[in-house]
Structure 1
Amino acid sequence: MELPITGFIVGSDQSKEDEGHSHVLYLTSWGGRPVHVHEFGGMTSFDMGHLHQYAGTTEPAPSGVPHTHSYFTVTSFDSGHNHRINGETGPAIPLPGGGHYHEFRGVTSADGSPPHEHAYSGRTSP
């Protein structure tokens, strides 16, 4: 099955001499439908005497159909370390005046000394 996708690519500011080369892909439609993203952020649980802050933007998903979003970010650097946060939001929850948000929750990567995790949860922006 072919799925038409449109978007644009932004080149990196690295010189061609660098071994690494990257681009940022911005999707504008998926299967003929416009895509959208949500912002998310919050604080982790307080464990091992500290907590972390985090913020990010979800990956694009199609508008107007049932969907979820993948997400990834890195927490603030506290107590000598940070953690990775990644997962998939729950389904869209409609708002009375239109639009929607998503709930998310999970556990961070195990990092720090000693290695440990933090729980996190929240709602995306509408």
Structure 2
Amino acid sequence: MYTNEESITSNSTSIPPHVHEFEQSTKLAELGADRHNHRVAGVTSEFIPVGGGRHVHVILSNTDSLDHHHEIGVVTGPDIPIPNTNKHVHLVQGGTTFDDGHLHDFLFTTQINSPLV
């Protein structure tokens, strides 16, 4: 188990423990007057090393609610470096839980790590 004081090495740079914010809309689902999407926002888990100096995060969240909501549970893709910086993002893709007779696909990236540093 990793603690908040530990770090990993990624691309020859030490990466301190961190999380990412995310905010996105799901893709549309259903037809006609019921056609809709949902918003989802939150913060990822701490990083999870996956070898080779790379890492992922877990996202567990709920969408906003109309007359129903959906849950999202997904592991992000590995870190994607931002050129000429020590920053990175993660690709997030998957589908929500099946609720109210449908699900929603989603595809987005996390926000950049440590945006103010």
Smaller-chain TM-score bracket:
0.7 to 0.9
Distance 2:48 2:60 in 1: 18
Provide the residue aligned with 1:77 in structure 2.
Answer: 65
**Unpaired runs of at least 5, structure 2:** 8-15, 113-117
Is 1:88 equivalent to 2:75 in the alignment? yes
- TM-score normalised by the chain length of structure 1: 0.70
Question: What is the aligned-residue identity percentage?
Answer: 34
**What pairs up with 1:1-126 in 2 under 5 angstroms?**
5-6=2-3, 28-29=4-5, 32-33=6-7, 34-48=16-30, 49-61=35-47, 65-78=53-66, 80-96=67-83, 97-112=85-100, 115-126=101-112
The answer to whether the 8 Å contact 1:35/1:62 transfers is no
**Unpaired runs of at least 5, structure 1:** 7-27
CA RMSD of aligned residues (A): 1.6
Distance 2:97 2:79 in 1: 26
Distance 1:94 1:66 in 2: 10
Q: Which has the higher contact order (CA 8 A, sep 6+)?
A: 2
- TM-score normalised by the chain length of structure 2: 0.76
Q: Which runs of 4+ in 1 moved over 3 A?
A: none
